[in-house]
A = this chain, B = another copy of it.
């Protein structure tokens, strides 16, 4: 029982903070520290960011899924932080040198925040990143116009809501690894992104893999790992 008035119940691990745990994880995987802001108060986010930054002064710390209140407090309390409004995120500390080539493809403007999150997360995780927007299934000429660019990437991330068909179209044009990100954009029988998720899981294009709905973070991490491994001996394609 977690209350001081219940002396027979004590916390076994009272002094284990998130920072120590995360340091372990950083050493283990090579990834930067990331704070998932959703469900945390602005004060908690600022405090965690500050602690992590002090522990890792030499590389970037990232906080995602920040609402306006959190962005405001970070700006005031951590003026050295860089706010990435499109991605609803902030970074603190120097970004790594980009390695490899991730291209993030998205269709509608509503998918923009998730696409921006993918791009930022992959950047913070060490990849070179470019975004290609306004590429819709219902306007194939846009896809075809950038086909050669897409085919040169080390990893593609394709972000789409509604029926989630864009990864199939892109995946049929190129031979590089494709990560599909379903978004919750849609209404009615989109069921909060379920339709896009199922569409991507059933893609007829080979080699398309999928992450959770609106999970720009997971897609960015995967893409960055792929691009870093591919790019070490190749330099940036940009």
Q: Report chain B residues within 8 Å CB of A144.
A: 140
Decide if A154 touches B207 in the complex (CB within 8 Å): no
CA distance A25 to B169 in the complex (A): 13
A34 to B: closest C-beta gap in Å: 7
Known interface pairs A210-B210, A214-B187, A229-B230; A9-B130 also in contact (CB < 8 Å): yes
**Distance between A133 CB and nearest chain B CB, rounded to angstroms:** 6
Chain A residues proximal to chain B, CB less than 8 Å: 1-3, 5-6, 8-13, 16, 18, 21, 24-25, 28-31, 34, 38-39, 82, 84, 86-87, 95, 98, 103, 107-110, 116, 119-120, 122-123, 128-134, 136-144, 146, 149, 154-155, 162-165, 168-169, 171-179, 182, 184-215, 217-219, 221-222, 225-226, 229-230, 232-234, 236, 238
- Interface contact A3-B172, CB-CB below 8 Å: no
- Asked whether A119 and B198 contact (CB < 8 A) given A209-B179, A217-B206, the answer is no
Q: Is B233 touching A200 in the complex (CB atoms < 8 A)?
A: no
Could you say which of A134, A193, A212, A213 has the most chain B C-beta atoms within 10 Å of its C-beta?
A212
**Does the CB pair A131–B11 fall under 8 Å?**
yes
Residue pair A200, B163 in contact (C-beta under 8 Å): yes
User: Cβ of A103: which chain B residues have Cβ within 8 Å of it?
Assistant: 12
Do A211 and B213 touch (CB < 8 A)?
Answer: no
Q: Contact at A163–B203, with CB atoms within 8 Å?
A: yes
Do A25 and B138 form a contact, CB below 8 Å, given A9-B128, A233-B233, A233-B234? yes
**Is the pair B229, A154 in contact by a Cβ cutoff of 8 Å?**
yes
- List 14 additional A-B contacts (Cβ < 8 Å) besides A165-B168, A209-B211: A1-B84, A2-B84, A2-B131, A6-B123, A12-B103, A12-B149, A25-B138, A28-B172, A28-B175, A176-B225, A177-B226, A188-B213, A188-B215, A233-B234
What chain B residues lie within 8 Å of A134 (beta carbons)?
A: 13, 16, 18, 21
Query: Once bound together, how far apart are the Cα atoms of A68 and B104, in whole Å?
Result: 35
How many whole Å from A102's CB to the nearest CB in chain B?
9
Closest 10 pairs between A and B when the two form their complex, measured CB to CB: A138-B172, A188-B213, A233-B233, A29-B175, A165-B165, A229-B230, A207-B221, A1-B123, A209-B209, A195-B198
Q: Can you name 29 A-B pairs with beta carbons within 8 Å? A: A3-B87, A6-B123, A8-B238, A9-B130, A10-B130, A12-B103, A12-B131, A12-B132, A13-B133, A13-B146, A18-B134, A21-B136, A25-B139, A28-B172, A28-B175, A39-B110, A108-B204, A137-B172, A138-B204, A162-B202, A163-B202, A169-B169, A186-B202, A188-B193, A195-B199, A195-B201, A208-B211, A209-B219, A233-B233
